[in-house]
A and B are shown apart, each in its own frame.
Chain A
Amino acid sequence: QKEVEQDPGPLSVPEGAIVSLNCTYSNSAFQYFMWYRQYSRKGPELLMYTYSSGNKEDGRFTAQVDKSSKYISLFIRDSQPSDSATYLCAMSVGAAGNKLTFGGGTRVLVKP
């Protein structure tokens, strides 16, 4: 069983809809949670970074962490065709160092 599970999609939504993405994980020691966006033929870029449980909002993006359920979510409001990409969750035990555990990524398609 993988430590971090993520539905590969594709998730297809009409422009303007809310995109809802999630990851589940098995390691209760994870405390730091990240979401990356990866466009085709590009490397991942950091979207959101959160610590422990709770919500974090940045523009159209909201990240939620529920440590009791070992479940994290990313919501994209007012989705645009430019949001079409693969979204990867990643997590770590500590704040520092080199050990990140990634999910497999969810491909999102926002149709005009």
Chain B
Amino acid sequence: EAQVTQNPRYLITVTGKKLTVTCSQNMNHEYMSWYRQDPGLGLRQIYYSMNVEVTDKGDVPEGYKVSRKEKRNFPLILESPSPNQTSLYFCASKRGQANYGYTFGSGTRLTVV
């Protein structure tokens, strides 16, 4: 089944403790992206990647890091999480440049206390 897989689905952590949310896609997509979703604000892009070793900032990149060492994986790293990073996170991937083509994962609900 073609899909984007995120882990973990739920995570509660403490301020300052580094964490990584993994994302993997099995569709051989070039483009991958991370979004966060907050009530009333919709989805906001954190980072995106156009291919291996090519990443760029989205609208809200502060406090996040990403890497794209393999085509299928695009982990999101929070070096020092803070409570304002409590959110629902989505990874997405797409094959080509068309902006409507994203397939989303099922989300990771992160709580930072």
Contact = CB atoms under 8 A, between A and B. Distances in A.
B107 A96 contact: no
A97 B44 CA distance: 15
A69 interface: no
A13 B101 CA distance: 30
Contacts of B41: 2, 104
Contacts of A75: none
Contacts of A100: 43, 45, 99, 102
Contacts of A46: 100-102
Task: Report, as a range, how many residues of chain B touch the other chain.
Answer: 20 to 34
Contact of B90 (A34, A43, A104): A43
A23 to B, nearest CB: 10
B21 to A, nearest CB: 14
B43 A94 contact: no
Contacts of A49: 100
A2 to B, nearest CB: 8
B107 A4 contact: no
Contacts of A98: 31, 33, 45, 48, 50, 56, 58, 99
A88 B42 contact: yes
B43 A96 contact: no
Interface residues of A, number: 28
Contacts of A2: 41
B104 A44 contact: yes
Interface in A67-102: 88, 90, 92, 94-102
Contact of B105 (A43, A96, A105): A43
A4 B40 CA distance: 11
Given A99-B45, A102-B43, A105-B42, A41 B100 contact: no
Given A92-B99, A98-B48, A43 B104 contact: yes
Contacts of A34: 100
Nearest to B105: A43
Given A96-B96, A101-B42, 4 more contacts: A43-B92, A44-B104, A88-B42, A98-B45
Interface of A: 2, 4, 6, 8, 32, 34, 41-46, 49, 88, 90, 92, 94-105
